[in-house]
Amino acid sequence: MSMHVAIIMDGNGRWATGQGRRREWGHRRGAEAVRRVVRAAPDLGIDALTLYAFSSDNWSRPAAEVGLLFRLFERYLGREAAELKENGVALRVVGRRDRLSPQLVAAIERAESETRGGQRMTLRVAVDYSSRHALLEAVRNVAAQHGLAADRPDLSAALGRAMHAGGPSPDVDLLIRTGGEKRLSDFLLWECAYAELLFTPKMWPDYTGEDLAAAIREYASRDRRFGKVKLAG
């Protein structure tokens, strides 16, 4: 069984301010939660894990917070690539790269090439990611390549391919959002067409591998119908 889990890692700021600390502290601890979850995931039958790390709308945050988030991400890439490789995890960063610093883009490319060939799981980290932007870009590319006269089934397949030019993305099976909010915040709108949704009040820095295991058990108990009628018997 192949399984794609996507996580909106939310609640770092509230976790920290709730303890009278600065939001930055929450982001630092959030990075540790990422490590825990990435270690736990392959053994839970997850073969693709997509983590929402920075949305295109997150550029609107104070410059100091944005700067810290990118420093943490760059540090993660530098420190974790070797372990990811050792664990058979292939890293892919999805989202726009044209607004990232050349230094960060280079770090991303290094980590991707170092972990290329990982067979146990693909870890996709969404950075400067906007699902609407991804869709619009895909439409633009398909229109430029094929013209808009392509018939509908072709157009849908071509769009799917164009959206994942950097590497394939299966449809999301399970979408988890921590931090209590119940919204998608421009994440994987296309890929979540039939995703099971799981919202938890737990803040991201508190999230553990056991929480992920519990989420997978909950997912396994759901009845996915994909628009069909369940046959009796």
E strand or H helix that includes residue 6: strand 4-8
Residue nearest ligand IPE, Cβ-based: 13
E strand or H helix that includes residue 69: helix 63-86
Answer yes or no whether residue 191 interacts with Mg ion by CB under 5 A: no
Contact (Cβ atoms closer than 8 angstroms) between residue 126 and residue 189: no
Answer yes or no whether residue 205 interacts with ligand IPE by CB under 6 A: no
Number of Cβ atoms within 10 Å of the Cβ of 126: 25
Catalytic residue among 12, 47, 58, 186: 58
Selected from 10, 74, 80, 191, the binder of ligand IPE by CB under 6 A is 10
Contact (Cβ atoms closer than 8 angstroms) between residue 41 and residue 5: yes
Contact (Cβ atoms closer than 8 angstroms) between residue 128 and residue 94: no
Answer yes or no whether residue 179 interacts with ligand IPE by CB under 6 A: yes
* d(C-alpha 4, C-alpha 121), whole Å: 10
Nearer to Mg ion, 13 or 118 (CB): 13
Scanning 48-56, 95-103, 133-141, 147-155 for contacts with ligand IPE by CB under 6 A, the matching segment is 48-56
Q: Binders of Mg ion among 7-46, rule CB under 5 A? A: 10
Number of Cβ atoms within 10 Å of the Cβ of 34: 22
Active site residue 10: yes
Length of the chain: 233
58: partner contacted, choices Mg ion, ligand IPE, none (Cβ within 5-8 A by kind) = ligand IPE
* d(C-alpha 204, C-alpha 201), whole Å: 9
Selected from 6, 42, 52, 92, the binder of ligand IPE by CB under 6 A is 52
Answer yes or no whether residue 69 interacts with Mg ion by CB under 5 A: no
The site for ligand IPE (CB under 6 A) is made up of 8-14, 52-55, 58, 69, 179, 181, 183, 185, 204
- Give catalytic residue positions: 10, 58
